Chains A and B, each alone.
Chain A
């Protein structure tokens, strides 16, 4: 019989542990109880409908209860004294927080009425303050608890804060072990340990503190998260979803690193010797919260693959990845192993989502239409967008490598890359491919321009930008030195082609063929030179006029172009003018409009984009 009672007690305790987690959801019932005290018509069903109609009385009732919650919570939040110094205060504060959490959860679902929305905003604000205070209390509790205990290295692997406890002999080690085991009554060596991360030695903390921390952590998690369905997550505006992801990251870390391990400890202690009961109890308690956390991550993974979401989804991926060891440690028994497997599956799905985002980016690039050319052949917005995007993405290079490595792209899908040296990784293949797509797209865009020279200027500008942005970033490392060299050469090619296509004609005019003098006769030579000069002046002026409105964003590139032009134009012009003087003698000055220096000056005005956009370098 005694054996039966013992087992009954154990079961009762298990239920109690389970009940405490359910405690939160019942708070909503209490809130409604308060309402019905004001006016019997304010039951849950009625309230839902009335608020949707914008009933001022419903809002007034909520406002009233919000004010009372405000009073209860503010007195603690604004107090300088630690709340947990007094257990009655702690309980009162936690109760108020519970009510507030339930209220916010309840009201969020109810309506979009404006006045109501204002109430809700105040409530959420209040909740945020309460959460901050909880975090502070949590931290100081751990610090105070750590101060009164000597944390024994054997219980912990590699916690940095314990370094200053030396133990030279096994004897000492055993003594310390005993001290911790026997609890607070033993003599402690007071050591102030700055506990800054979540790795706490739960065993070594006094039981009361564990409970307090547990209670706080539970509210921190509950205050954070809403129970969202997949549909709701998909319908959320991106900004709201970003905020929710922030909260999820905090909640996941607190749950997996503090809350669940402490639950595990409690279960193991209570059911010492009955490991199956401990496993079961633990699973019952933690299942709901874990599934809620995982469902959210899943919803994010299944949702939109818009490229703007990359960075947040990377955050979720990394958080989950870093928590997998915790999952493996906590959820390895027969009852909870499915949770661990779920976590891994969802983590992989997040990886798929990230790959999907890059595919979406590819589509975006491919589909970007070549409509109106950028005035002055300047930098196209898509170049800027893609390069900055990739630079930012590559800051998470390690994670991305991981994402792409597991599901590498088969090389045969990239026919243009067959002849290159085998790439370093699947990620570099992906980056390479995106660059290919961008370049094809830009080439198509360049054909919009009627003037072939402008076409090359466009390609130069964008090509230069691409190389600059790639060079001093992880992106460049991924693409490789060869790639950078190749593309730098490409820009040079465009330069050469630009020069040829617009300036060759003009240069041709200035060409002096030594043997023509005789065939034209003395006047003929002078006449032909006068005509040539006239032609040159017209064409030169034309070129300068048109090309001053073109734009080269990069100072250095502009200089290079100018200098290259000078190098070939000035000497040719100089020689021509020299011959001109020879032919026309004293009358020459009448016809010569520009000196060599004047040509130089005019060349300076090129590519200023004077009538076009004056876009910045970035």
Chain B
């Protein structure tokens, strides 16, 4: 037997020998029912959110909170019914579940890198903010600095596969839907910025090998995931059900994380299969649909991540870049005012980032720990 560890890593309970709790059938039924109900309620609440808040930093944190709670509750169920958990077919079902969980660990690590990439963007924005600070008199030098930082920002927010395609683009009109990447193009042509350095932010941050793919990991997590067969349900006294539920939750949460945060080889068009017949299906399906819709929108198509704040960064940066291009020196009064306004918008975005990124990073790490903790000794 093995010990299950609590938060501090000390053993909650050591079981030696064959001492085992035998809980009667009715309490198991109650536990299973409660678990399903909790999952459903939590996701219903999560889904009842406006489009502006979907995939925001705050929403992501709620999502991860839910995951952590559910995972811990499942762990308790396993613990209360240890004898059953170790007998076939439950032992196979549980070990499959843990296999999926291990794949999720790698995704957690990749997402952590992605959050770091967003922090890079945050720092670049801080440079822009500093350059166009209203306390100074804004001159050409500051503008150049701001533009350079914005160009770096574009570089930072590139999707891996897209970069080469964009490199090829030469003549592109400066229209309303111009994205940051276009601006990068222009900048690249106008300056001696080395092609080499396109890779530099990414190569610094990625702790995974070049062939690792977030999409493949997700695929593997969802691989042959299907509702438990009726004979399995009977043989396990229904314990197979919460395992399936949690596997689905795991898949969805990881999918949402990859959708929101920059990762190597995201490929969002990858569909995950969510079953229709369970009470928790409805909120998951609704969220899935909405996020997919979001990803298909023109301006979001090539985003490095669907996180709401990334969209805000893009918008803000584009606006400021356009504005800076139109500036003539010395600065006219209204222009100065406009700059001040935009800079204020920018500082709001930065505040949100500053407040939200570190806690999110910590939570992703907590998800990692929770998954590791949940592995009863194999």
Interface string of B2-30 (1 = CB under 8 A from A): 11010001110010100000000000000
CB-contact partner of A288 in B103, B145, B206, B361, under 8 A: B206
Chain A residues in 8 Å Cβ range of B103: 231
Q: A360 at interface (Cβ–Cβ under 8 A)?
A: yes
Are A109 and B3 touching (Cβ within 8 A)?
no
Residue in chain A with minimal CB distance to B200: A22
Q: A226 at interface (Cβ–Cβ under 8 A)?
A: yes
Q: A401 at interface (Cβ–Cβ under 8 A)?
A: no
CB-contact partner of A295 in B9, B109, B377, B378, under 8 A: B109
CB-contact partner of A407 in B10, B105, B372, B375, under 8 A: B10
Q: How far is the CA of A5 from the CA of B210 in the complex (A)?
A: 37
Q: How far is the CA of A26 from the CA of B375 in the complex (A)?
A: 38
**Contacts of A226-265 to chain B: CB distance below 8 A:** 226-231, 234
Q: How far is the CA of A231 from the CA of B200 in the complex (A)?
A: 26
Q: A287 at interface (Cβ–Cβ under 8 A)?
A: yes
Q: B142 at interface (Cβ–Cβ under 8 A)?
A: yes
Chain B residues in 8 Å Cβ range of A105: 209-210
Q: How far is the CA of A1 from the CA of B200 in the complex (A)?
A: 29
Q: A63 at interface (Cβ–Cβ under 8 A)?
A: no
Are B212 and A229 touching (Cβ within 8 A)?
yes
With known contacts A28-B210, A287-B205, A407–B200 Cβ distance under 8 A: no
Interface string of B329-367 (1 = CB under 8 A from A): 000000000000000000000000000000001000100
Number of interface residues of B (CB under 8 A): 46
Chain A residues in 8 Å Cβ range of B163: none
Q: How far is the CA of A356 from the CA of B141 in the complex (A)?
A: 61
CB-contact partner of A352 in B5, B102, B203, under 8 A: B5
**Contacts of B98-141 to chain A: CB distance below 8 A:** 102-103, 105-106, 109, 112-113, 116, 120, 123, 127, 139, 141
With known contacts A4-B145, A8-B145, A230–B102 Cβ distance under 8 A: yes
Cβ of A613 to closest chain B Cβ, rounded Å = 33
Are B209 and A287 touching (Cβ within 8 A)?
no
Are A407 and B207 touching (Cβ within 8 A)?
no
Are A1 and B141 touching (Cβ within 8 A)?
yes
With known contacts A287-B204, A352-B5, A359-B3, A26–B210 Cβ distance under 8 A: no
Q: How far is the CA of A238 from the CA of B16 in the complex (A)?
A: 29
CB-contact partner of B2 in A18, A284, A338, A359, under 8 A: A359
Chain B residues in 8 Å Cβ range of A413: 14, 16
With known contacts A4-B145, A25-B203, A356-B377, A106–B9 Cβ distance under 8 A: no
Chain A residues in 8 Å Cβ range of B209: 105, 109, 226-229
Q: A545 at interface (Cβ–Cβ under 8 A)?
A: no
Interface size band for A: 35 or more
Are A291 and B1 touching (Cβ within 8 A)?
no
Are B145 and A302 touching (Cβ within 8 A)?
no
Are B207 and A231 touching (Cβ within 8 A)?
no
Are A292 and B141 touching (Cβ within 8 A)?
no
Q: How far is the CA of A15 from the CA of B205 in the complex (A)?
A: 14
Are B204 and A1 touching (Cβ within 8 A)?
no
Are B3 and A231 touching (Cβ within 8 A)?
no
Are B208 and A1 touching (Cβ within 8 A)?
no
Cβ of B79 to closest chain A Cβ, rounded Å = 16
Chain B residues in 8 Å Cβ range of A11: 127
Q: B211 at interface (Cβ–Cβ under 8 A)?
A: yes
Are A234 and B5 touching (Cβ within 8 A)?
no
Are B109 and A360 touching (Cβ within 8 A)?
no
Are A26 and B207 touching (Cβ within 8 A)?
no
List chain A positions with a Cβ less than 8 A from chain B. Answer: 1, 4-5, 8, 11, 15, 18-19, 21-22, 24-26, 28, 105-106, 109, 226-231, 234, 280, 284-285, 287-288, 291-292, 295, 302, 304-305, 338, 342, 345, 348-349, 352, 356, 359-360, 362-363, 407, 409-410, 413
User: Apart from A28-B210, A356-B377, A410-B14, what 11 extra A-B contacts exist at CB < 8 Å?
Assistant: A15-B197, A19-B196, A22-B200, A105-B210, A229-B106, A287-B205, A291-B109, A349-B9, A352-B5, A359-B2, A359-B377
6 A-B pairs with CB atoms under 8 Å apart are: A4-B141, A229-B209, A285-B204, A302-B105, A352-B9, A356-B377
